[in-house]
Amino acid sequence: MAKRVGIETSLAVSEVAAACDVDVVAAYPITPQTHIVEHLADLVANGELDAEYIPVESEHSAMSACLGSVAAGARTFTATAGQGLELMHEVLFVASAMRLPVIMAVANRAVSSPLSVWGDHSDVMAARDVGWIQIFVENGQEAVDNTICAFKMGEDHNVLLPVMVNLDGFHLSHMIEPIIIPEKEEIRRFLPPFDYPLPLHPDKPVAMGDFAPPVIFTEAKWAQEVNLQKSYDTILRIWKEFGDQFGRYYKPVEEYCTEGADTLLLTMGSFSETAMTAVDSLREKGKKVGLIRIRLWRPFPFEELRKAVDGTKTLIVFDRAISTGGPGGPVASEVKAALYNLPRKPLVVGFVGGLGGRDVTREGFEEIILQGEEIARNGSPNEYEIYGVRE
Amino acid sequence: MIGQSVYVPRLLPELESLAPGHRACIGCGEVLAMRQAFKAIGRDAIVVNATGCMEIIASQLPYTSWRLPWIHTLFENTAAVASGVEAGLKAMYRKGRYSRPDTKIVAVAGDGGTVDIGLQALSGALERGHNLLYICFDNEGYMNTGIQRSSATPYGASTTTSPAGKESIGQFSWKKDLPGIAVAHRIPYVATACPSYPVDLIEKVKKGVDTRGPAYIHIFSGCPTGWGCATNLTVRLGRLAVETGIFPLYEVENGKYTMSYKPEKLRPITDYMKPQRRFRHLTDDAVEMIEKRVAVEYYKLLEKAECQK
Ligand SMILES: Cc1ncc(C[n+]2csc(CCOP(=O)(O)OP(=O)(O)O)c2C)c(N)n1
Ligand code: SF4
Ligand SMILES: [Mg+2]
């Protein structure tokens, strides 16, 4: 049985990617992802991981090399953050459209300028529409568990899609936590070997990545969309299988103290654990508040979200990114869109905060919840609120 | 090699990896070069193709001209994708999940995809020492997108983004020496070739794919559409480019330069330039200046080959 050990989340993610027996790692260093790729390089250098490590010259090439190795049929892992994810941008679309299940950890980071190595969700929100399965995790254990699940989800023959596991830069990537890293044998029982159905192989030539004239393009894109939507059921099945074997269960929308809540706070990522303590504190003071967290960002969990907020009066959405010049937080606008046509729905109040590594404390979340309720009662001249900004 | 033309069809391997029916223009030198190159490569190969003419002409859904496993993803990342294919096969072979020890990884791209936007990825792949062959089909411009300049466009050529005009000579910079840049990576094999010399081209491609480690072959490929010349002149213009010293044929094996062909005397460059619309605006003075520089560059190269003998 695997033991619980104190380990930095980044290193744990590398350990578990190695335990998943990856064939190829192609990666480029960037804070706060660096420890992941450094540790993988170590594991290969020490002979603990039998893989090809490609120290590429950029993230664009990192993701491009990943396309090549998956197309050849090799299990492939990479990691990035911030600027690196943006430099990959063009290639991310290709990975999903060509059904190449690259598995990637993103240690979420702000995007320049001003330069910031610290965490927020601007990087992944700009990559929202690239067609990947996107999961958010809240602590080191979840990062480890979901990295294992990501391989099984992405490589499933009904899915064959790349998967991004988002773990907050520094707040999570650099945190030393007690984490259970499953043994290789246990992982082997859970995760079958990668068997890409139509790899590049001289015995059976395939053409991958042809160009599509207008008579075919719409159909190609629609097929991709249907496939990503349908991956939902497989994702749920795999989380269930994981839970049954390892005892830790995951859901697309996680709930905390939602029973009888008039007000719900919605968060994503590692700040959720702080938000829980804020909910505890307000509950102690007699307030009927709860928390929901979106774990599965793509494909978007419409039904689960609608169910989770049913009967709530106020829904306060906390975003760690701004859609500049637009409706504020990207999560808030998607949540609003998902609820808008319902006959019975909560009022949605959007907050943006935690940008570029700015912390939000328990007291901070309490303040956000109380201010959100106040706005629900009396309105606000703003489309959304920015939390903690100094004028 | 000169004077063998009549025997050429009988000397070349029969294998065709690129099926007819593709959509290249009449007289396309790139597709001719690609056909020749793949005669040498055989069937135990995987092709990684950059966006550009050679991708677009052979791969319109739901058809393909390729009889080899083939992948295209983007314009500038071909060398990186090829690196990934190579690494993937290597790892799987070692772990017993892939059975062929010698599958050739061949990256093909145009000059734009190589000397400009793809240079970084190419440099990375060469420097890391992947076991692959990278072939650049150089038609001296971005032809697929409508004849724009690249940094491989020769000085003075008029293109849609370096148009000749009252204030412009056309292309304002000298052709980038990409084979030289490849050599600077100290890779085991670099060569230049031209489909007007098919036996030479095929021999070089054979050497290239049999090289352990990275190999780079730069193939001068005529483009009647982009150059504004008659469609039956592609092969002749290739020969003239070599005979004028504009595009010398040579090999660099582990740093050692060898000329593949040395004309007794360089022909006047007007023989090469006259039939092409892209040079038509050049004055005699400009042509003379270009000719001088061509000679300087040619003799510099010759000297490199001579002094290494
Ligand atoms: C990132 C990006 N920028 C621009 C383009 C547009 N584009 C496609 S092919 C091409 C030119 C290709 O030129 P070259 O590589 O020389 O190949 P050729 O068509 O001449 O054979 C350009 C500019 C693109 N596909 N991707
Ligand atoms: S534009 Fe030039 S390179 Fe492209 S297919 Fe036509 S002749 Fe060939
Ligand atoms: Mg070109």
* Interchain pair A67, B84: CB under 8 A: yes
pTM for this one?
0.97
A152 Cα: distance to centroid of ligand 2 (angstroms): 44
Going from the N-terminus, what domains does chain A have, and what CATH number goes with each? 4-246 (3.40.50.970), 254-386 (3.40.50.920)
d(CA B36, CA B18): 10
- ipTM of this predicted complex? 0.97
Confidence of residue A68 (pLDDT cuts 50, 70, 90): very high
B114 Cα: distance to centroid of ligand 1 (angstroms): 10
B 119-178: CB under 8 A from A: 120-121, 123-124, 127-128
Cβ atoms within 10 A of the Cβ of B285, count?
8
Q: Looking at the partner chain, which of B46, B56, B87 has a beta carbon nearest the beta carbon of A52? A: B87
Percent of chain B with pLDDT over 70: 98
Confidence of residue B11 (pLDDT cuts 50, 70, 90): confident
Query: What is the arithmetic mean of pLDDT over A244-273?
Result: 97
Going from the N-terminus, what domains does chain B have, and what CATH number goes with each? 2-307 (3.40.50.970)
* Interchain pair B121, A26: CB under 8 A: no
| SS3 call for A109 | coil
Contacts of residue B46 in chain A, CB cutoff 8 Å?
72, 200-202
- What sign results for the dihedral spanned by CA atoms B237, B239, B244, B249? positive
Query: What is the arithmetic mean of pLDDT over B113-136?
Result: 98
φ and ψ at residue A121, rounded to 5 degrees: -110, 15
Query: What is the arithmetic mean of pLDDT over A20-29?
Result: 98
Residue B102, chain A, CB below 8 Å: the answer is no
Min Cα distance B144 → chain A (Å) is 13
Ligand closest in space to the Cα of B138: 3
- Closest alpha carbon within chain B to A204: B69
Contacts of residue B128 in chain A, CB cutoff 8 Å?
54-56
Q: Are strands B215-220 and B189-193 parallel, antiparallel or unpaired?
A: parallel
d(CA B4, CA A88): 49
d(CA B14, CA B18): 12
Q: Are strands A176-180 and A4-8 parallel, antiparallel or unpaired?
A: antiparallel
Supply B32's token pair: 């001719």
Supply B19's token pair: 């099926």
Cβ atoms within 10 A of the Cβ of A173, count?
30
Q: Are strands A253-256 and A52-54 parallel, antiparallel or unpaired?
A: unpaired
Query: What is the arithmetic mean of pLDDT over A263-292?
Result: 97
Contacts of residue A207 in chain B, CB cutoff 8 Å?
59, 64, 66, 69-71
Please report the pLDDT score of residue A384 as a whole number: 97
Residues with a CB atom less than 6 Å from ligand 1: B 30, 51-54, 75-76, 109-113, 137, 139, 141-145, 150
Query: What is the arithmetic mean of pLDDT over B280-306?
Result: 97
Q: Looking at the partner chain, which of A60, A72, A76 has a beta carbon nearest the beta carbon of B77? A: A60
Q: Does the pLDDT at position A208 exceed 90?
A: yes
d(CA A172, CA A106): 11
Q: Is B105 in the pocket of ligand 2 (CB under 6 A)?
A: no
Q: What is the CA radius of gyration of chain A?
A: 21
d(CA B275, CA B268): 13
Cβ atoms within 10 A of the Cβ of A10, count?
28
Residue B210, chain A, CB below 8 Å: the answer is no
Please give the angle made by the CA atoms of B303, B304 and B307, to the nearest 5 degrees: 75
Give the helix, strand, coil percentages of chain A, each rounded to 5.
40, 20, 40
Note the pLDDT tens digit of each residue in B218-237: 999 999 999 999 999 999 99
d(CA A293, CA A382): 24
Q: Are strands B250-253 and B256-259 parallel, antiparallel or unpaired?
A: antiparallel
Q: Does the pLDDT at position A3 exceed 90?
A: no
B52 Cα: distance to centroid of ligand 1 (angstroms): 5
Please report the pLDDT score of residue A155 as a whole number: 98
Residue with tokens 């223009």: B25
Min Cα distance B89 → chain A (Å) is 6
A312 Cα: distance to centroid of ligand 1 (angstroms): 53
What letter would DSSP give residue B256?
E
Nearest to A242 by CA among A187, A281, A162: A187
Burial code (b: 16+ CB inside 10 Å, e: under 16) for A329-349 equals bbbbbbbbebbeeeeebbbbb
Confidence of residue B5 (pLDDT cuts 50, 70, 90): low
Please report the pLDDT score of residue B291 as a whole number: 98
Note the pLDDT tens digit of each residue in A96-154: 999 999 999 999 999 999 999 999 999 999 999 999 999 999 999 999 999 999 999 99
φ and ψ at residue A312, rounded to 5 degrees: -85, 145
Nearest to B76 by CA among B118, B104, B26: B118
Number of helices followed by number of strands (H, E) in chain A: 12, 16
d(CA A91, CA A95): 6
- Closest alpha carbon within chain B to A94: B73
Min Cα distance B72 → chain A (Å) is 5
d(CA B255, CA A305): 64
Min Cα distance A23 → chain B (Å) is 6
Are B61 and A216 within 8 A, CB to CB?
A: yes
Ligand 2 atom showing the smallest separation from residue B143 Cα: 1
Supply B36's token pair: 């020749």
Residue with tokens 């938000």: A275
Look at phi and psi of residue A99 and say left if phi exceeds 0, alpha if psi is from -120 to 50, else beta. Answer: left
Q: Is B41 in the pocket of ligand 2 (CB under 6 A)?
A: no
* Interchain pair A68, B97: CB under 8 A: no
* Interchain pair A69, B70: CB under 8 A: no
Q: Is B53 in the pocket of ligand 2 (CB under 6 A)?
A: yes
Q: Is B114 in the pocket of ligand 2 (CB under 6 A)?
A: no
Note the pLDDT tens digit of each residue in A363-378: 999 999 999 999 999 9
Query: What is the arithmetic mean of pLDDT over A13-31?
Result: 98
- Average pLDDT over chain A reads 97
Residue B97, chain A, CB below 8 Å: the answer is yes
Note the pLDDT tens digit of each residue in A238-258: 999 999 999 999 999 999 999
Q: Does the pLDDT at position A391 exceed 90?
A: no
Nearest to B225 by CA among B145, B136, B130: B145
- Closest alpha carbon within chain A to B87: A52
Please report the pLDDT score of residue B2 as a whole number: 52
Query: What is the arithmetic mean of pLDDT over A273-297?
Result: 98
Look at phi and psi of residue A333 and say left if phi exceeds 0, alpha if psi is from -120 to 50, else beta. Answer: alpha
Q: Does the pLDDT at position B13 exceed 80?
A: yes
Please report the pLDDT score of residue B308 as a whole number: 80
Which residues lie across from A168 on neighbouring strands? A108
Are B64 and A207 within 8 A, CB to CB?
A: yes
Q: Does the pLDDT at position B309 exceed 80?
A: no
- Closest alpha carbon within chain A to B66: A207
Q: Looking at the partner chain, which of A51, A54, A204 has a beta carbon nearest the beta carbon of B84? A: A54
Ligand 1 atom showing the smallest separation from residue B54 Cα: 21
Ligand 1 atom showing the smallest separation from residue B226 Cα: 20
Query: What is the arithmetic mean of pLDDT over A309-313?
Result: 96
Confidence of residue B4 (pLDDT cuts 50, 70, 90): low
Ligand 1 atom showing the smallest separation from residue B144 Cα: 19
Residue B276, chain A, CB below 8 Å: the answer is no
d(CA A319, CA A265): 11
Q: Does the pLDDT at position B10 exceed 90?
A: no
Q: Are strands B70-72 and A207-208 parallel, antiparallel or unpaired?
A: parallel
Q: Is B18 in the pocket of ligand 2 (CB under 6 A)?
A: no
Contacts of residue B97 in chain A, CB cutoff 8 Å?
73, 193
